[in-house]
């Protein structure tokens, strides 16, 4: 009899609590989906909502604080925002690619916790400046100078925090520390919005305005020993090809396709870019370098090298508008047979001839796209054997962008992103 009563109580609780829990999770998931700044993949809102509610149920203080659940939801939304603005995510798909929202969702916010920074017992106010001075590092001849940074210097705080994060061994401690770090960064960023002078951020594509360009004159690729850009090479020409590339990349980001106008614009700007390379001697220099570095076209570059190029390209201006993972895949996914084919054709025809064929094929691709009435990659891919030099270009630009410094290498990096992104959609396959 007692056992029967116990079973009845359990069943009753499941009937009452089960739907209530499901309703709460559904409500939280709806808030996340409605307010997210970065699109959420299938099932992501439900998974994060379940984590939030589980953390809320399992934490005694959360049940006692009326705003804990609301603050927890807002913290996850901010973690999603940071995944987009700092990590370059264009969609939140899983924990492996963007772990921060998942980590944040497992921690219930305690509104009794606060952080106050003070100097000699006097709390800092928004707009106050910390001057750390100059301190020795390593030897008497080496110093590290910390310049005056407004209290809203989120980037500096984040870098320092991530360095400490690397020294924390336990996963649980790492998660809690990173969550606190994010909260501090968001708090500081809010006060920084009121200041006119702020540290300039790394020009990652989500934080850059305009249609591309703005070369800063400091592109240093990851592969050492590559050719530099001639001093007479026009920066405006490099900016032009970057602008066309970024416009096209943004179309891929929003619609997963290029338009006929994108192909035409790239053909025109690349033609101008290649002509400038010819006029300044860069084409001849690059051809000699390619022919004496055949090993680079017999194997794929490492992901670390390509990631370093992604960072360097972004630091030098606005040439890349896709995420780091897309850029890496665009470079390393080119078949080795295509890379070898490019090298053989440089030996056979010369680099100037290849440049001309790539531009001609882009014009042809624009015409095919316009005639088909669509720019969807999969539908355009059928006649791609008619434009074989585009795939060869993907093999060429990806490697060249890792080794050529200055505006030539930076402009080629913009072209590599445009052409390589197409290869991810099998635009160049099947020939």
| Residues found in the chain | 431
3-class DSSP string for 130-197:
ECCEEEEECEEEEEEEECCEECCCHHHHHHHHHHHHCCCCCHHHHHHHHHHHHHHHHHHHHHHCCCCC
Tell me: pLDDT of 1 over 50.
yes
Residue 78 confidence (pLDDT): 86
How many helices (DSSP H) and strands (DSSP E) are in the chain?
17, 6
Residue 276 confidence (pLDDT): 96
* Rounded CA separation 242/234 (Å): 13
Query: In this predicted model, what pLDDT tens digit does every residue of 275-318 receive, in sequence order?
Result: 999 999 999 999 999 999 988 888 888 889 999 999 999 889 88
Query: In this predicted model, what pLDDT tens digit does every residue of 338-387 receive, in sequence order?
Result: 889 999 999 999 999 999 999 998 898 888 877 765 444 433 444 445 67
* Rounded CA separation 240/102 (Å): 40
Tell me: pLDDT of 218 over 70.
yes
- Of the spans 53-62, 187-196, 395-404, which averages the highest pLDDT? 395-404
Task: Give this prediction's pTM.
Answer: 0.52
Residue 83 confidence (pLDDT): 82
Tell me: pLDDT of 172 over 80.
no
Residue 19 confidence (pLDDT): 57
Residue 372 confidence (pLDDT): 65
């Amino acid at each position: 009899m007692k056992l029967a009563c116990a079973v009845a109580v359990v069943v009753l609780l499941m009937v009452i609590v089960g739907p209530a829990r499901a309703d709460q999770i559904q409500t939280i998931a709806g808030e996340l989906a409605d307010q997210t700044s970065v699109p959420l993949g299938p099932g992501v809102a439900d998974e994060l909502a379940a984590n939030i509610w589980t953390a809320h149920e399992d934490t005694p203080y959360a049940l006692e604080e009326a705003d804990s659940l609301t603050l927890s939801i807002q913290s996850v939304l901010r973690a999603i925002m940071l995944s987009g603005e700092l990590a370059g995510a264009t969609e939140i798909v899983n924990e492996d690619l963007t772990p921060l929202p998942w980590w944040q969702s497992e921690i219930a916010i305690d509104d009794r916790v606060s952080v106050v920074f003070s100097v000699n017992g006097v709390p800092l106010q928004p707009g106050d400046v910390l001057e750390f001075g100059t301190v020795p590092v390593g030897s008497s001849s080496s110093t590290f100078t910390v310049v005056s940074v407004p209290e809203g210097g989120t980037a500096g705080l984040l870098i320092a925090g991530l360095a400490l994060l690397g020294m924390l061994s336990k996963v649980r401690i790492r998660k809690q520390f990173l969550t606190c770090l994010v909260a501090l960064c968001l708090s500081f960023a809010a006060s920084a919005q009121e200041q006119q002078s702020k540290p300039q951020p790394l020009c990652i594509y989500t934080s850059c305005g305009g249609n591309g360009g703005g070369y800063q004159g400091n592109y240093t690729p990851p592969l050492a020993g590559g050719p530099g850009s001639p001093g007479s090479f026009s920066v405006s020409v490099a900016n032009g090809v970057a602008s066309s590339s970024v416009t096209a990349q943004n179309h891929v980001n929003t619609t997963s396709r290029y338009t006929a106008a994108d192909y035409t614009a790239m053909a025109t700007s690349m033609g101008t870019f290649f002509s400038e390379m010819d006029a300044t001697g860069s084409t001849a220099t690059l051809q000699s370098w390619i022919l004496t570095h055949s090993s680079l076209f017999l194997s794929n570059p490492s992901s670390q090298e390509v990631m370093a190029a992604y960072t360097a390209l972004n630091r030098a201006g606005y040439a890349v508008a896709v995420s780091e993972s897309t850029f890496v895949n665009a470079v390393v996914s080119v078949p080795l047979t295509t890379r070898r084919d490019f090298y053989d054709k440089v030996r056979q025809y010369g680099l100037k001839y290849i440049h001309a064929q790539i531009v001609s094929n882009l014009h042809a691709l624009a015409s095919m796209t316009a005639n088909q009435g669509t720019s969807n990659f999969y539908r355009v891919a059928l006649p791609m054997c008619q434009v074989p030099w585009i795939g060869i270009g993907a093999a060429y630009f990806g490697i060249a962008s890792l080794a050529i410094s200055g505006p030539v290498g930076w402009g080629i990096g913009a072209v590599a992103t445009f052409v390589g992104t197409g290869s991810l959609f099998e635009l160049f396959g099947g020939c």
